[in-house]
Amino acid sequence: MATPLKAKVAAPRSNDNIVQGVKYNRSSSKRNNFEMVAWLFMRLSGVALVILIFGHLFVNLMTGEGVHRIDFGFVGGKLANPFWQVWDMLLLWLAMLHGTNGIRTIIDDYAQKDKTRAFLKVILFLASAFIILVGTLVIFTFDPCPTGAAAELLPSFCPAP
């Protein structure tokens, strides 16, 4: 392969890629395949998210008394379990990255000025990084039995004060 410098030199080149008399000399410097990786990520994370979100919705809205049963005791009990910690962390990271890339695509589609696109994407990336950071910290630094809280608000496994 030619070096990037050589790629700028006009034909004739020693390694023209000629197919049926037509030259196919695209950039021979290293290609940036970020967009292909992003496209593939949307499909792979999408399949995982279908399982993760359907499980999340079923356990939180369909079992027990549905949304009426969700309180600190219920969520505290779930987040004290390593299985749900990992489930919720995967859900948080994959959903945020999938959603952020989706909004990035929409910004690229509809914002026509370079500066508008850059501005919107900076806001998007800052908001996404903040939400991922906050969510991850909550999952792993959360105390299901905080001292001083009323016992009837806490999960049943918390020791009596």
Phi, psi of 19 (to 5 degrees): -120, 115
> Site for other proteins (CB under 8 A): which residue of 11, 65, 115, 147?
65
| Count of residues that interact with other proteins, criterion CB under 8 A | 42
Residue 16 CB, shortest distance to other proteins, in Å, is: 33
3-state secondary structure of 19: strand
Binding to other proteins by residue 47, rule CB under 8 A? yes
d(CA 92, CA 32): 28
Nearest to 97 by CA among 43, 135, 50, 45: 45
Return the sign of the alpha-carbon dihedral for residues 68, 69, 71, 75: negative
Binding to other proteins by residue 123, rule CB under 8 A? no
Measured N-to-C along each axis, helices 114-141 and 82-110 cross at an angle, to the nearest 10 degrees, of 170
Binding to other proteins by residue 46, rule CB under 8 A? yes
Q: How many residues does the chain have?
A: 161
Binding to other proteins by residue 1, rule CB under 8 A? no
Binding to other proteins by residue 61, rule CB under 8 A? yes
The interface with other proteins within residues 87-116 (CB under 8 A) comprises: 92, 95-96, 99-100, 102-103, 106
**Bridge partners, 18 (sequence order):** 23
What is the binding site for other proteins (CB under 8 A)?
43, 46-47, 49-50, 53-54, 57, 61-62, 65-68, 70-73, 75-76, 79, 92, 95-96, 99-100, 102-103, 106, 127, 131, 134-135, 137-138, 141-142, 146, 149-150, 153-154
